[in-house]
């Protein structure tokens, strides 16, 4: 979805954000967005790790049953 924006589209979006939010609010919004993305990635990694652990446990149990 975002792969088709390109440089001109990105510049347009940044200009619109600057007009709508103003130069004082833009850094705050950027910081909040960065923190949100960081937290989302952290949660995703934790969830993926939990799923992989469960999968490995089930896989080990299946191996034990086959013996």
31-52 pLDDT per residue, tens: 999 999 999 999 999 999 999 9
- Hey, what's the torsion of the CAs at 24, 25, 28, 34, to 10 degrees? -120
Mean pLDDT of 1-14: 79
pLDDT at 3 over 70: no
pTM value is 0.59
- Do the domain assignments include residue 18? no
- Do the domain assignments include residue 7? no
- Do the domain assignments include residue 14? no
- Do the domain assignments include residue 11? no
- The whole-angstrom separation of Cα 56 and Cα 66 is 15
Domains in the chain, number: 1
- Taking a C-beta distance cutoff of 8 angstroms, is the pair 17, 29 a contact? yes
Tokens of 27: 């850094």
- Do the domain assignments include residue 53? yes
Please report the pLDDT score of residue 64 as a whole number: 87
Please report the pLDDT score of residue 47 as a whole number: 93
Please report the pLDDT score of residue 2 as a whole number: 56
Domain that holds residue 66: 23-67
């Amino acid at each position: 979805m975002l792969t088709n924006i390109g440089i001109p589209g990105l510049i347009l979006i940044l200009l619109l954000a600057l007009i709508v939010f103003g130069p004082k609010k833009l850094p705050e919004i950027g910081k909040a967005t960065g923190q949100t993305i960081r937290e989302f990635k952290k949660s995703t990694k934790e969830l993926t790790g939990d799923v992989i652990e469960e999968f490995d446990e089930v896989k080990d149990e299946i191996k034990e049953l086959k013996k």
